[in-house]
Amino acid sequence: MGLGGGGDTGAQSELLWQYVLELVGKDRPRMLYLPTAIGDHESGSVAFFERFARRTEASHLVTFPYPPPDLRAVILEQDAICVSGGNTANMLAIWRVHGIDVLLREAWEQGIVLWGASAGMICWFEQGVTDSFGPQLAGMDCLGFLPGSACPHYDGEEQRRPLYHRLVAEGFPAGYAADEAAALHFRDGALVEAVASRPGARAYRVEAAAGRAVETLLPTRLLHA
């Protein structure tokens, strides 16, 4: 479940969180938060617990000063795992050093719901559009659980759409883009549906044809309270 970004208001974000909980399908699921992309900053974990502690068995996994000794159990005993936004490149480097990437793949194969916004969206694909290396956006290799590429914040940052189009036209793998407040739900590597928590937020398929990027608007279901 990849979110192009959070909702523009608290009510819009709440619709997206509720959608995720419905995907898990349990009254009080075990939900793990990975704030690696923000350097395990406490503010991210506080916000996560404020959103989810009353309706899930919420926990978080930090990697500083080092991951917990029961890392495998911590990851694989969850019903859902939420990945924060932030620096995707730094996050993936830390995950790979400690084998978190391998455990997340095992979690995915077991049917644990993996989700997140921004870095937590693109990390699951083969490649993604990121600002991990500075203010200038760039493409980067990601985990490759899902085929193709991804671009978040599609309507929220003016350089996202033109850069993604250029990358795809130049050989970047075809993929998906999501506006702020839009999300893409995948199962078994295939897109199930696109949803949005505000009118006008959409998701897109972007692929190359005749040397240029072609953008196709995807059916996007508007969520309601």
Residue 153 annotated to the active site: yes
Buried b (16+ CB within 10 A) or exposed e, 123-160: bbbbbbbbbbeeeebebbebbebbebbbbbbbbbbeeb
Q: What DSSP character marks residue 8? A: S
Phi-psi region of 98 (alpha: psi -120 to 50; beta: other; left: phi over 0): alpha
DSSP SS3 for 53:
coil
The neighbour count for residue 195, using CB atoms within 10 Å, is 22
Q: Which of 118, 132, 149, 197 is catalytic?
A: 118
**Which residue in the list 45, 84, 153, 197 is annotated as catalytic?**
153
Amino acid, res. 144: G
Active site residue 13: no
Q: Are 76 and 112 in contact (CB under 8 A)?
A: yes
Tokens of 174: 């075809």
**Residue owning tokens 């009254």:** 27
Name the residues annotated as catalytic: 118, 153
